Structure 1
Amino acid sequence: MSGPRRQESRDAITVEISYAVASGCAVAALLFLVVASPALFLDLGRGVESALFTCATLLAAAGFTMRAVTLLIRLRRAQDASADAR
């Protein structure tokens, strides 16, 4: 009986990791668009546009990392609590 339970646990982990990556991508895209939108829609100088795109890229990467890591830490804590309950 421990075989199917392990498979269910692996499937749950796969789903959680996929969710962490997908929601991290969504956060990154939103942050990039918010920061870079003035450069996309306004006629700004080349230096300002370059700075906005650089900041948007860095903020998007940080947002992705924070979201994914936060969700994976939460998953790890839930697994530890589940293991302690057994």
Structure 2
Amino acid sequence: MYAYGGRRTRAERDAATVEIGYALVSAAFAAAVLFGSVAGPALLFDLPDLLSEVLLRSGTAVAPVVFMARVISVLVRFRQTAQPNQPGRTNPDS
């Protein structure tokens, strides 16, 4: 993002902000879907107490892991994305 240690442009800051927002929203959605699919049966049906407790604890334990994994994967992928060359400027890799 930084070109030779210089400041980021407004567009680069905006792109980073949008990407962070996307990472958080998509991670929250993924964690909620996973929690609902694991712990949902315990909340909807009259299951034995032990099974209900296991499902609720499993959903509560796995959802934050999925949230963090999604956020990290989206932000790492954004950081590794090659920025297109700008016309009229020399390519620093050449």
Could you tell me how far 1:65 is from its partner in structure 2? 1.1
Q: CA deviation at 1:58?
A: 1.3
Alignment of 1:1-86 (within 5 A): 6-78=9-81, 81-82=82-83, 86=92
Where in structure 1 are there 5+ consecutive unaligned residues? none
Give the structure with higher Rg (CA). Answer: 2
Measure the CA separation in 1 of the matches of 2:50 and 2:24.
32
Q: Which sits farther off after the overlay, 56-65 or 25-34?
A: 56-65
RMSD: 1.9
Aligned residue pairs, count: 80
Q: Following TM superposition, by how much is the alpha carbon of 1:83 offset from its aligned partner in structure 2, in angstroms?
A: 8.5
Gaps of 5+ in 2: 1-7, 86-90
Residues in 1 aligned to 2:58 and 2:43: alpha-carbon distance in whole angstroms: 14
Normalized against structure 1, the TM-score is what?
Answer: 0.82
Identical pairs, percent:
39
Q: Which runs of 4+ in 1 moved over 4 A?
A: 83-86
Larger RCO (alpha carbons 8 Å, 6+ apart):
1
TM-score, normalised to structure 2's length? 0.76
Report which of the two has the higher share of helix: 1
